[in-house]
Structures are given as C-alpha cells and as structure tokens.
Structure 1
Amino acid sequence: MSLSPKKYFSVTKKEWNGLVVLMILIALVLVAPYVYQSFHKNETIDVKDFNAAVARLKGTGLVDSNTTANATPFRFNPNNLPPQQWAKLGLTEQQIGTIKNYEAKGGHFNSKADLKKMYSISAEDYKRLAPYIDLPEKAGYVEKTNAVVEINSADTLKLMQIRGIGSGYARLIIRYRDRLGGFYKKEQLKEVAGLDSLTYQDIIPFIKVDEAKIIKIDLNKATQNSLAVFPYLSYKQRNAIVEYRNQHGDYKELADLKNIPIIDDVLLRKIEPYISLK
C-alpha cells in the first residue's frame, strides 16, 4: 500500500519542536558577534601613561636614553674615572653605578676588552667609546714607542715599550737588576741570561742608566745570606769578606778588601759601584 503525498510531507510535533530549536540556535550564532561588540568596546590607549612608563624605564638605564646625544668624547682611562666624567661620556646613572660597584670590589681594567665585558656597557656604547679608551686592546699588549727608558726605575710595562723587549725579556732584565741592585752602565745588560746580542744592539739606543738609583750594600752590616743574591761574588768571596770584618773590625775604605787574597783589582772595580761603608 503506497503513502499519500499528504502523509509523506507531514511533520510530527516532535520534529517541529526540534526544527524551531535549531532555527533559534542559528539566529543566536548570527547575532552573537554584534552583541559581544556592543558590550566590549575597544578602549583607547592613554598615550600620556605610555610616555610616562617609557620615561621611567629610561631612568633605570634599561632602555637607551638621549644621554649619548649630549655626550662629549675625550681620551680617558676607565680606572677610577669620576662619575661626572662617565656622565660626560654619555653613560646613565645605572651604568656608572655598575662600574663603580665593580671597582669597589677590587675590579680593574687592564685592557679595552675588560670594559667590553661589563654587562652594563652595550655593544653600541663600547663601539662609541673604544677609540677614546686609554688602554691597550688586549691584556699583555703594550704599545711600542721611541721613548728612552731609565732602566733602574722602569717596571715591566715600561720596558716593554721598547721595541724588541717583550714580557719575557722584561722579566729577565728586572730580575737581574734586582739581584745587582741596579745597573751602572748599559753594557751590563750583556750579562742578562737569555738576552741575545742582536736584541741587545736593538734596545741600547732606547735605554739610559741613572747610577743614583743603585741600591748599595753596606759592607759593615752585610751577612753571607744578604750577599748571596749579589751575582758578582762567589760563596768563598762572600765568606771571606764577612770573616775578615769579624777578625779585623769594620772596613774603613774600599781598599781594605785588597787584603783578602781572593779579591783582586778586577773584581774590586766591578763591585765598587755597589759598595757602601757607613
């Protein structure tokens, strides 16, 4: 038996209710965006508050400020540089405070690279300041000059300014100088172990000697131990000098040393610049 067209297109009450609910849900979905916008209007950004926040950040040094615009570059050594000078170079208060805390804890800048390692110094700051930093590029590097160096008062860095003298030669020269008490003539540099003749010839024009800076030996107070470092005397000679004084009393003049058989005129002339008789 076939269904009539009327019965085929009929809708039950349950189906009709479901259709109504579906239409309501579709309407809600379409209307929802408009309802949401009406209750959540976009808030306008307060530019004044934003600018104030940026200003506060600049005060902490966490963002770049306009201090570099008024910076006055000059050649400087960063060690113990006053805060006012750092400010002239364009650094913020926080950057300066970080550097001063580093120094207060015993920190020292030996080269430009040391300043570059400071976390408070940005890459831009370092690039701007590097040409004015009065320090070598790297630790251990010393700029060579044509200046004449007084050898009895120079430290290793001063000696290393002479072309041909590196840290190794500088240490050898100072070590031997300290044993002698100082140099009284340039030719004594030939006695420095490890210093070759070619280097000697190269450095001689840039060295001068001040005999007044020689540390002399008081022969009437010297002991065998105090004489032990002096390179011109052997053990037997040191012992003889002390024993002669013990037996005959203080030395009155340098010539008294001639009474010691193992001290000849050649040695006497060699040690004369180092002897004092008080």
Structure 2
Amino acid sequence: MRKWLNNYFVFSRNAFNGVLVLIFLIGLMSVVPAVYDKFVPPPMMTAEERRAVLQLLASDTIKGPKRIALIDIRTLPKPEQSVAELFNFDPNVIDLAQWVRLGLSEKQAMGILNYRNKGGRFYKPEDLGKMYTINKKLYLRLLPYVRITKDSSFRDRYPEHISKQHQKVKKPEVLKLVELNLADTLELDRLRGIGAVFARRIAGYRDRLGGFYDKEQLLEVFGIDSAKYIQISGQITIDPRLVRKINVNTAQYEDLKRHPYLRYKQINALIQYRKQHGNYQDLNDLRKVLLLSEETLIKLSPYFSF
C-alpha cells in the first residue's frame, strides 16, 4: 500500500503510520454502533410502564400517529411475568394491571378490556368462561373469586357506549313484548338488534332445546354476546311452562340426540342405567349416572319429566 501511495503522494514513515491509524479508527467507528446494538439490549420497559401504555390503547382514547407509536411497544421484550395473585374481583370493573396480577398475560387482559369497551358485560361469574382469551384451567382457578356487582352503575361507568338507539328506550313508549317460546322468525326479525340471521338461529336453537326457560339462554346462541343480549332482553318474555318436556323413563336415543345439553355417551349412559336399574323417580336418581355432571343436570332439569 505504501508503494502505491508514494506514486501519488510523498509520505514520511511517521506520516504513513498516522494514515494507517486514522483509517483503522474510521473503520472501527463505523463497526462499533452495529456491534453495540447487537450485544447490548435497549433498556427494558418496566411492567408498570408497559401496562400503563396498554391501558391507554385499550381505552381507545389515543388515535393517529401517537397510537401507532404506542403500539410499537408490543415489539419490545416483555418484563418477567409476576406470580399470580388471587383476590376477589369484579370483571366489569378491574383494569389491565389487576387482570395481570390475577395471572393473565397482557394480551389476554387487552382482549377482555376491548370486549368491555365495546359494551360487553359479565352478568354472572360463569360468563368469564365464555371469553376466548381465558382457557379452562385459568377460568376454574379464577371462578371462586368473581364478584359481580349490580347493573345500576353500568351506564355511569360506560356512558360512551349508550348509543342513540338505547337512549330512545327512555322515551315514553309502549313496547310490545314478544314471547320467545311462541314467536316465529318474522316476529323475532322485527325486534331491535336481531335481524333475519339471528332470528333463524334463535328459532333453531329453541327447537333443539324444546324451548327457553331463562332469558340468559340466549347467550348460548352462536353470535349473541353480552352487548347484544342487553339490546334484546328488554323486548322479550319467557314462559317456562311452554318448555317441551322429555320423559326420561320412555325417551330413546332419537328423542334425546338433538338436545344441545347432551352428548352421545351421556345419552347412552342414561338409557343403559335405566335398563339395568329401572325407571328414574326424580333428579336424585339421575345423579347416579356418572357421566351426567351436576351442572348438566341443573341445565336439563326443566326439560325432564319422570
């Protein structure tokens, strides 16, 4: 290199050595930042800072470029998950940090907050199990600690979700209530918030059940969440006396197979036990069929006769 440089420039030995050192330093300065970024991680956001930002995202109050900048934190390394802490809670009230304390990930907690922000509500502890972000194991661990408060504070807590359509209900008007066990699809279609698709689903599920005995069974219809249930429930009545009964002492597989609360193995066990031990006298006899859980029996009891 020195011979090549001497063809164009005149260098002393010291000057030439100085040029080499300068070239080395320039190269080193261009490489160091890349190496530093690769081996030295950026300062990690604390759990509290991260949850505060996610809480802002869940509230939907930040929009535009600021929101995009906040969303970028999802690409940062997450702080270590703290040990789950169990305590009594109302799923309609607690914030993201409290969900995380209960053992949920930030993503799971965000899903629940978004559900609430869209008008969703938990009416009973078991509603928590309907959240797709919560698996069965976590649901069973949290269930004993769920405490649902009265509905009276719902409008104060979520005033932005009371739409104009809901405001109209306040006006003096006589609403014609529809008996859910007698209405056809045309009558159901005329109810606010239902439409033709949900009318068919409700009628179809009612036929499989044998009728509704409780309004909250509407939450079992595919696509009906808590927000839609709020919209529908005030427009309907239910007469449990209209429920179609099944005599468990004469029913065969064909009579039971379409019922949504029963599976093939349960139906078979029910029939086989009856053949071996005789007719059922009451609900306590049905408890002897091991495949029928207490929860299933409670749901089925309005449909069974002896």
The normalised TM-score by structure 1 is 0.46
Structure (1 or 2) with the larger CA radius of gyration: 1
The normalised TM-score by structure 2 is 0.42
